[in-house]
Structure 1
Amino acid sequence: MKPPFPLRGRGVTIAPRNRYARLEREPFDDGWPQEEETPGAPPTEVRWEEAHSALTTNRSPDLGFDRSINPYRGCEHGCAYCYARPMHAWLDLSPGLDFERIIIARRHLADRLRAELNRPGYRPAPIALGTATDAWQPVERKLGLTRAVLEVLAEARHPWTVVTKGSGILRDLDLIAPMAASGLCEVYVTLTTLDAELARRLEPRAASPRRRLEVIAALARAGVPVGVSLAPQIPFLTEDMEAVLAAAAEAGACSAFMSILRLPQELETIVDDWLQRHVPERRERILARLRELHGGKLDGPFGERFRGRGPWADLLAQRFAIARRRAGLERSLPPLVTHLFRPPAKRAGEPVQQALF
């Protein structure tokens, strides 16, 4: 049965079937009395997947990069609104609880990246790290897949960029700071709100707002170009945009961007359930405003998915522009360099042919 209260340590409480599932299961109450107790967080399960390739390319007009790499599928941070949740359907898993409970770790990913950067004719351009799920989610502390990728990028002097909520990024400053000094990397830290209680319910296993400001400050002190991401903005819920930008600027951020919440595929059901549990009095207003922002739907078309359209989208963009200018965050981070790239060395004893697969 659907639990009558939030699950401790989890962002959502439901596990809706994915859109490719052929069977649907429903709970059945057989009438026997049940003891009501607050359940603990369902344990995290790590499943290994052999990485057959490292880089993923895209042509989306909504994204500012053409290639990315993801060490993990699924994310322990458990952000209820995460646009990547529907991707778990490709694995025949639920975009709900399964997304934050069953983490797919990509074995030999750094080796695949090394081989792909060695391909004849490869042309470097900034790689977006962890676009589908956070590269510094809690499981990274144990598995170190992101660090292994960074080691290859550092060896190859390859530019990269990342958006993260994870304070674990500071564990890898020994790799990041030297690359930043050469113009090879930039970091955006996501900060949706300064309201610690709201953040705990929205993003239960991500770093607290206070800790994320500390991450911004530490990165800035280390000479890493750092900005703040206000993504996503949720109407009538994340309403402290000006305070977030001011705090990020004080911590050391020098740039900022935002996006508007969108609810693709199964995310509509997941977020609707979250709203009913946490802010039922605002649920209808929030969903109605999202539909206004996305032309009557809960997700926009390519080219407008993250910024919305119509008068409310324009007003929000104007408000953000004014607040960003007042905070001194209107400039962009410095462009990353590509001329330093050199193919990384192949692994000792590895046949040339094997490096291509």
Structure 2
Amino acid sequence: MPIRRPALLIRPELDDDALRRTLDELRPTQQLHGLGAGRTRPPWEPVATLLRTTGRDWDRRAHRLTVLAEHLPTAVPQRWTTDRPTDGDALTLRAFVASHRTPATDHGAVRHAEHICLRAAEACPEDPTPWLALLSLMYTCAVPVKDAVPVWTEAVNRAPWLRTSYHRLLRHLSPRGHGTVPDMMDFAWQAAARAPHGSPLALLPVAARVELMAHRQETTPLDALGSGGGNWNEPRAVHEIDLALKAWFDADTAPHAEAVTDLNILAFALTRAHRPAEAAPVFRRLGRHMTRHPWNLLPEPERTFAYWRDRSTADRGR
């Protein structure tokens, strides 16, 4: 009888259990008779508690705000800012929701979303996350890179090595965004070279190379089906993966909020570069946690992930 493997965990909250519990509590299916019907406390209170306990952990705050903005019922942040119009957490969540859900074609809505972002920044002067919301809005509106960089700088000035800030600008610099391949790769290399030892920014060039593979797959799909789409075996790529392993994966640092995402990027790169022995410990650290990207660049992404994960488990038992 074949061994049944536990199902993969593909969750927007990654391995953040507190965030998952908050999302479950506010799942739209629980609001069929009106948001907060039958409750003795306001519907936004679980979110307020979550963000309050997150405190000044900007890394986890950015992750939680991003996921909440994508998955909360719209009425929750609207009700929160109505009830607490000067609350910095409420305003910042509203800014993230606005930046995520505002269509670029609605110029009035874009101006309103920008106003919300700036109100949040004023209410939370030491917080980098309102500036990240504004940067996302600029991405949606195809604002040129030269105009987005000052906003990115505002976030970096408040939290110099915040992972989310660098990945947001990398997306802006991507040829799939509003930049070019040379600008994207140069930014990633410089950030990784300057980041302190143990920072997940050591992985930024690998993330950029994944983005390069995605870009090439869109333009010449057949070229990217194998490892060639990202040039994973050229000397520069080898150096990038080596740096990510030495300066981040092998460093004795506490996991950051999006470690699951970064581990998936690293595992993907190692498999594309045909380095299974080094991929095995990465998959062991991941366990059942998979992210859809970058595996969705390959046919049968879940099957591919499970193959490499199971192979690493088998190798460990030898």
Name the TM-score, length of structure 2 as normaliser: 0.32
Considering Cα pairs closer than 8 Å and 6+ residues apart, tell me whether 1 or 2 has the greater RCO: 1
Greater strand share, 1 or 2? 1
